[in-house]
Homo-oligomer: A and B are copies of this chain.
Amino acid sequence: MSSAKPAATRSGEPISRGAGARQRVLRAALEVLDEHGLPGFTMEAVARRANAGKATLYRHWQSAGALLIDAMDATFQPFPEPDTGRVETDVAELLTAFVRLLEETPFPRLLAAFVDAAERDPALAALHADLTERRRQPLLAVLDRARERGQLPDHLDAELVTDLLTSPFFYRRFVAHRPIPEGMVDDVIACVLPTGFPSRRSKSS
């Protein structure tokens, strides 16, 4: 990276030219993954697609796995942390953004490829675990803040509640292969968050 030269390169266009070039490689990586799946995801294939040199790619990414993670990260921006004053509304905002992501290409396809690949490759599983960990942060932060404000009980297990709030959407999409119904976000929140409002017993918020 320190040898980044804006012009002149031995192997295709330099990717060190800045964000544009980096984006080009990441986009190429997503295209390769989408078309060929993980078995076809190699540094060679991405380099070819991005019209960059394989050696150049290796200077920026240690492995195809590392490149894949960056490409996954590039498929969406982290959700901004909402602060509406009500924990249910904050959580609903985050989950709604997440559901939208699950209904969009290419994220679900990439995630599905990851689920399979991680079973066969512990290094990839560790990378995926990190990625998931980062994506949980906004929700964990919202729950922690609500606890500090007395909107949720002190002893609430925020990690478990984060699992419970997000996992039904993964499950619907990737295991049950059912549509995510209108109102499911509200129903999940009403079921999981230990607050009096919206009523735990009511079906809609």
Footprint of B on A, CB under 8 Å?
A: 37-39, 108-109, 111-113, 115-120, 125-126, 128-129, 132-133, 136, 153, 155, 157, 160-161, 163-164, 166-168, 170-172, 174-178, 184, 187-188, 191-192, 194, 200-201, 203
CB distance from A164 to the nearest CB of B (A): 6
Q: Which residue of B lies closest to A105 (CB)?
A: B119
Number of this chain's copies in the assembly equals: 2
Q: Which residues of B contact A164 (CB under 8 A)?
A: 164, 168, 188, 191-192
User: In the complex, A192→B112 CA distance in Å?
Assistant: 27
**CB pairs A–B below 8 angstroms (11 shown):** A38-B116, A115-B115, A115-B116, A132-B176, A136-B176, A153-B201, A160-B188, A161-B191, A166-B171, A170-B171, A194-B201
* Assembly CA distance A2 to B109 (angstroms): 40
Question: In the bound complex, what is the Cα–Cα distance between A160 and B202 (angstroms)?
Answer: 13
Verify B177–A128 contact, CB threshold 8 A. Answer: yes
- Once A118-B112, A119-B108, A194-B200 are accepted as A-B contacts, the answer to whether A129 and B178 lie under 8 Å apart by CB is yes
CB distance from A65 to the nearest CB of B (A): 13
Q: Which residues of B contact A160 (CB under 8 A)?
A: 168, 184, 187-188, 191
Q: Least Cβ distance of A177 to chain B in Å?
A: 4
Bound-state Cα–Cα, A200 to B191, Å: 12
A157 to B187 CA separation, bound complex (whole angstroms): 9
Sample of 18 further A-B pairs with CB below 8 A, known A116-B117, A118-B177, A194-B201: A37-B116, A109-B120, A111-B175, A112-B116, A118-B174, A128-B175, A129-B176, A133-B176, A136-B176, A155-B201, A160-B168, A160-B184, A160-B191, A161-B191, A164-B192, A166-B171, A167-B175, A170-B171
The residue in chain B whose Cβ has the minimal distance to the Cβ of A187 is B160
Residues B168 and A175 in contact, CB atoms below 8 Å apart = no
**Contact, CB under 8 Å: B188 / A191:** no
